Amino acid sequence: MLYELRIYDVHSGKMKAIQDRFKDHVIPLFMNHGMKVLRFWEDADEANNRLYYLVEHADMQTRNLNYDRFRNDPEWIEVKRISELEGPIVYKQESVFLKNTDFFDNI
């Protein structure tokens, strides 16, 4: 398995907007495109205004295919457009790719 930790730096005052967008639209769309979200977190230091989430993928090729389908989904395009009528929600996004270690599975 491949795990993708996605880190969103959110514009000031937009944390609820990104949370609502995920809760109401993005998570179901991800599921429709074969992506499994394992967990969400907010930065413990609210001044950082960051949202983190972990997505499980079979491999990088599957990840890329699923995200391409998601990004081109007309429903996502409309959700993004409507949710950003008052300006962008996220100003920076980064991904960290992770894989399991052998030593921990045996403990």
Mean pLDDT, residues 44-67 taken together: 95
Q: For the chain, give every domain's residue range.
A: 2-101
The DSSP bridge partners found for residue 6 are 53, 95
Pairing of strands 50-57, 90-98: unpaired
- Per 3-state DSSP, the chain is made up of helix, strand and coil in percentages (nearest 5) of 45, 30, 25
> Whole-prediction pTM value?
0.88
What is the tens place of the pLDDT at every residue in 9-28? 999 999 999 999 999 999 99
For domain 2-101, the question of CATH label 3.40.50.1970 is answered with: no
**Going along 1-107, which residue ranges are E strands?**
2-10, 36-42, 50-57, 90-98
* Burial of residue 63, with CB atoms counted within 10 A of its CB: 0-12 exposed, 13-18 middle, 19 or more buried: buried
pLDDT at 102: 81
Mean pLDDT, residues 75-92 taken together: 95
